[in-house]
Structures are given as structure tokens and as C-alpha cells.
Structure 1
Amino acid sequence: MSLVHAAHGRSDNTSAVHPTGESPAGGRRGFRQVAGAYAALAKPRVIELLLVTTIPAMFLAGREIPSPWLVLATLVGGTMAAGSANALNCVIDADIDKVMNRTKRRPLVRDSVPRRGALIFGLALGAASFAVLYLTVNLLAALLAIATILFYIFVYTLVLKRRTPQNVVWGGAAGCMPVVIGWAAVEGTVQWPAFVMFGVIFFWTPPHTWALAMKYREDYERAGVPMLPVVATPQHVAKQIVIYSWVMVGWTLLLAPATSWLYASFAALAGAWFLFYAHRLYSSVRRGVETKPMALFHRSNTYLMIVFCALAVDSAIGLPVLGLPF
């Protein structure tokens, strides 16, 4: 799984080799080449962002630093689940990846990995993720991981992605699940702060992805993927980015009752910083001047990291929570 398109814009650097095991020059592939090609299927850049959100969720669940072994087991199982979803996504979307400049260096496009091998790899990772989480964490975390894989593949990739410009809005729910899995790993249940963290990422995903899609609009159009920037005017897209950004920032403050003044302060300041750049993008589009949507895309990554790192630090320090106002 991914934060749907969390690390788009980075191409894979896997060297071109044939599924027979030979390179174009006729030489045999080494183990590192084969392993690198399969690792690229898992989209490790995307997984990095998942880890940024999972660990703070685990900190918040206990309002303390969780067991390092529990964190490690959750991250290993979660990484396998994400890698499974991403690999299976590569199998399904190979035709799209082939016509998009941004994705044409992925393993299946360059024949670095046979399609059957990629399918088996993705399914094996999914099964391994369930086993690891079930045996080392708990059943709930394992079931949530499998549900996330199934949602990403069957709901987002096969149904939403090619049919509606709302694809990343609803499909983005898959990228929100790591925080719920992290919470379940610690508590064995899912409580309201986990759903609030889910909402933060849910509302973060559209501004993040649409900023990227504004830059690569022609790629998506050529591939027949109806991303919002493909079917709507730049002004409408920028306005939607601003709206979702405001909701996202407001949503982060809903965690204040479960945290202290430290998190609330960072969330408010980081939110103001991100909103400034979201409004600046909208202003540039309205005035018809040069826009830099990728600047907002990269800042969205930084913003998410700041909010969740503040959440982890706040929980680790154990400052008194603000509590509910009633």
C-alpha cells in the first residue's frame, strides 16, 4: 500500500534485464540486480512515509515509548503489507506505467521482473505480513493489514483509479491504515485517536497527490487516468487543494485532547505554514503566473513529518494531556 501516490515523482533506477535472467548485453544477472528489481516493485520510497506515521501512532497509543521489539515487528509486518500492495499494483498497472514518463522505468515495464514473478512476490509478501503480525503482534493488526491490501488492490486500483477523479480521495483510505495498525499493535483495539489520525492522512492525501498530478497532468491524460487535474481546470484543482488543506489542518487539532500543548502548538504552526503555500499556489493559478505545484508536493511531505514527529515527541515526554473541555 501507499499513501496512494505518496512518493510519485521518483522513478526507479532498476537496470533493464530480461526475465530469462540475462541482461540486454547477454550476461547473467547477479543476485543484487535481481533483488534490486524485486525490491523496486515494493516502492520503498512510498513505504518510508508509512513508517513516519506508524511509529508516532504507537507512541500515542500508550503515551510512552513502546517496546522496541513491538515497534520492529509492527514495522516489518507493515512494510511487507505495503510492499505486497505496491507489487500487486505494479502488476495491474503495468499498461499505465508503460505510457507514463514518470513510471516507465519500473521493473515490469523494463522487463527486469517477469509478470508471474511479480504476482507471486506480491502475494507472498502479503501472506508473510499476516504471519509476522499475527505471530509477533496480534490478530487485529494482522487482519487490518490484509484488509488494507485488499482495499488498495480491489477498491482503489481496480475500481476507482481509472474511473473517477475522486480516486485518490476515497482510495487514499488505504494509505491511512498504518496509523490504525500501529494503534492496534499497542492496544489490541482501535480507539478514537486512531480514527482522528486516519482522518489527518485522509485529508492530506488529495492536496499531496493533486499537486503532483498538476505537474504530471499530461502523463495521467496519456494513460487515461482521470486525475482531477486532467478533468478540471487548474483553478478548480487549486481551490480544492486549499479546501482540503484547511480541513486537514483543522483535523490535526482534534488530537489536542489526547496530547499536550506541545503537539497542539506544532500542529497549529505547521498548519499555518502549509496553508500559506496552499493559498500561494491558488493565488498563482488565479493570476495566471508561473506555478510550482511540486513545491507544495514536497512541502506536504515535510508537513506530515512535522505533525507526526511532534506527536511522537509529545507522547514520549509524557506531558499532561489537555483533555476534553467537558
Structure 2
Amino acid sequence: MSMITERLAQEQPPGPDEARPRPGFRALFAGYLSLTKPQIVELILVTTIPAMMFAAGGWPDLGLMAVVLIGGGLAAGAASTFNCYIDRDIDQLMRRTKRRPLPSHTITPRAVLIFGTILTVVSLTLMATFTNWLATGLTAASIFYYDVIYTIWLKRRTPTNTFWGGICGAAPVLIAWAAVTGTVGPVAWALFAVVFFWQMPHFYPLAIKYKDDYARAGIPMLPVVRSARRVNTEILLFTVLTLVSSLAAWPLGAKDGMGPIYGITAIVSGAFFLLEALRLAGRSRRGEPLKAMRLFHWSITYLTILFIAVAVDALI
């Protein structure tokens, strides 16, 4: 933490005599939108809709779907907003994040807290009013876990932060299932495991690319504190666990209509996912340029394809 304090002392926000011009409406709108990290919300929607469809055995009530998508999206935005508030000290030390609204002084910390609180209240009110207490409780727990357990406690203390942070990243599957059925069944847990394990081969390539950024901010991401061999071993391990979880969902969901469309998709897309992880490990072993972002982008494609197959099987 001493390194962070020292850096911050060199990058203090402007004083009264150096006041920045007041940002316009477009800049403020873009700033508030970026606080919610829309790319994360998009990934949540990719898993939420198919999970609801399979839980319902087809199209769920469209009103319920709208509530879960809006409520879940706002909850994710709230968690991300609080994350930006908590991480504002390290964000200004990292090239990847120094243009976020707080490091760039586009929005004040107080305004960010108010915005995050409003998103939280609206999302939980929607979930409590139109779904059930299990789905609402899981939504509230996800916000708490992401901001308190992951961001405040784990992220700055342990290289296993990505692993434990994966719990809240996979929670939307359980929330979606609970909103439809009022319970969380075996297939929901299998799909939760898919998203949970998937997050390591998804995020570690990003951490490899921005390794110097994380090191500068004193964040012990795995690529910062462990060897390339260890990182690639974990990528391969969690890729395999992702595929095993995806295949486990097949027999668990067979009686509810999870058929060959899902199974074949899981096998084929999973094989390509594993192949890309092996390529990254091979390039690392041979000392070649890693091109880690290829695996990052393919991981998004893989998850999207797999959950589209869940949705298709639910309809057919």
C-alpha cells in the first residue's frame, strides 16, 4: 500500500485554483454509463436469458424476463459503480483505467456513491416486487460479494482473487433460474459451474496483457506474482473444468429437454476453446509472443455459443 500512497501523492486532483471545466451532458452521460461497465452487463444477459428459458421449458413470462433483465442489469451496474468508487485510488495508476470517470475527475466520488445506491435500490425493489425472495436475496448477495468480499478484501490481498470473484460472476445463472422456479436445481448449478470455471481462462489472458498495469498498482493478479508456466497451467485446468461442467449439464438436463443440440455444441465449441488454451500454453513454452487476447475473445464467443444452445434446446 505504500507504493500506492506514494504514487497518489504525485497525482493529486487539481486544487481550487486549477479547477477543471465543468463536463457537458454528453461527457456526464458517458461517464455514468462507463461506471456500470456495460460489457459486463452484456455477458450477464448472455447467460440470464437462456437460463430463464430452460428453467421455464420455453419462453418464460415476458414481463418476468424484462424485470430480471432490467433488475439484473441494474444490479450489475450498481456493483460495478461501487467497484469504481472503491478502486479509484488504483485506477489512476493503471493506463487501462486512468480515464475512468473518477480518476479523470469527470464525476465526483459523492455522485458515484449516490448513483450506485440508486441503482441498488431500484434493482432490488424490482426484484422483490416482481420475482421472489430467493432471486432477490441472491441479487443482493451478489452486489455485496463483488464489492465487499472481492473488491475490498480479496482483490488486493491474494492472487486467488479471480477464482473467488468468479462466484458473483456466475450468480446471474442462479438468479435467473430462481426467478422462474423459486428454487435452484441441479442444471442451474451445472451452468453456474460452467460460468464460474470459465472466468479464469477468460480473465487471465486480460491480466497477462495488463500485467505491468496491475504490478504498478500493487494488485497481486496471478500473472504478476506467479510464473508464466503456473498461469498457463491454471488456464488449462480451468478450461478443462469448464468443459466438464458443460458436459455434466447435458445428462442433468436431459429429462427437461437438453438434447443433442446442446451436447454437440458443448463438445465442439469446448474443443475449440481448449485448443486455443493449448496454443497459448505452447507459445509461452516456446518463448513466442503470447497473443493472450485471442483466448480472451474466443472465451466470450464460446460462452455465447454454449448458452445459445441452451436457449435453442429449451425452445425445441
Match of 2:284 in 1: 285
Q: Secondary structure at the match of 1:172?
A: helix
Q: Is 2:265 the partner of 1:262?
A: no
Q: Is 2:136 the partner of 1:137?
A: no
Mapped partners of 2:164, 2:42: distance in 1: 22
Match of 1:12 in 2: none
What amino acid sits opposite 1:111 in the alignment? H
| Aligned-pair CA distance for 1:189 | 1.2
Q: Is 2:96 the partner of 1:102?
A: yes
Of 193, 196, 212, the match for 1:202: 196
Mapped partners of 2:217, 2:35: distance in 1: 20
Match of 1:3 in 2: none
Tell whether the 8 Å contact from 2:23 to 2:106 is kept in structure 1 after alignment. Answer: no
Match of 1:223 in 2: 217
Please give the per-residue CA displacement for 1:6-65, whole angstroms capped at 9, x wherever unaligned.
Answer: xxxxxxxxxxxx9x9xx94x4x54433322211211111111000000001101102211
Mapped partners of 1:42, 1:113: distance in 2: 13
Match of 2:153 in 1: 159
Mapped partners of 2:309, 2:109: distance in 1: 42
Q: Secondary structure at the match of 2:99?
A: coil
Could you tell me which runs of 5 or more consecutive residues in structure 2 were left unpaired when the two chains were aligned: 1-13
Query: How many corresponding residue pairs?
Result: 298
Could you tell me which runs of 5 or more consecutive residues in structure 1 were left unpaired when the two chains were aligned: 1-17, 318-326
| Aligned-pair CA distance for 1:172 | 1.2
Match of 2:300 in 1: 301
Match of 1:58 in 2: 52
Identity %: 46
TM-score by length of 1: 0.88
Please give the per-residue CA displacement for 1:57-112, whole angstroms capped at 9, x wherever unaligned.
Answer: 10110221112211111000001100110000000000111011111110001111
Match of 2:4 in 1: none
What amino acid sits opposite 2:141 in the alignment? A
Tell whether the 8 Å contact from 2:243 to 2:266 is kept in structure 1 after alignment. Answer: yes
| Aligned-pair CA distance for 1:124 | 1.5
Please give the per-residue CA displacement for 1:121-171, whole angstroms capped at 9, x wherever unaligned.
Answer: 111111111101111222221111101000111110011100000001011
Match of 1:322 in 2: none
Match of 2:69 in 1: 75
Q: Secondary structure at the match of 2:224?
A: helix
Mapped partners of 1:165, 1:278: distance in 2: 20
Q: Secondary structure at the match of 1:88?
A: helix
Mapped partners of 1:94, 1:316: distance in 2: 44
| Aligned-pair CA distance for 1:281 | 0.7
Mapped partners of 2:156, 2:288: distance in 1: 31
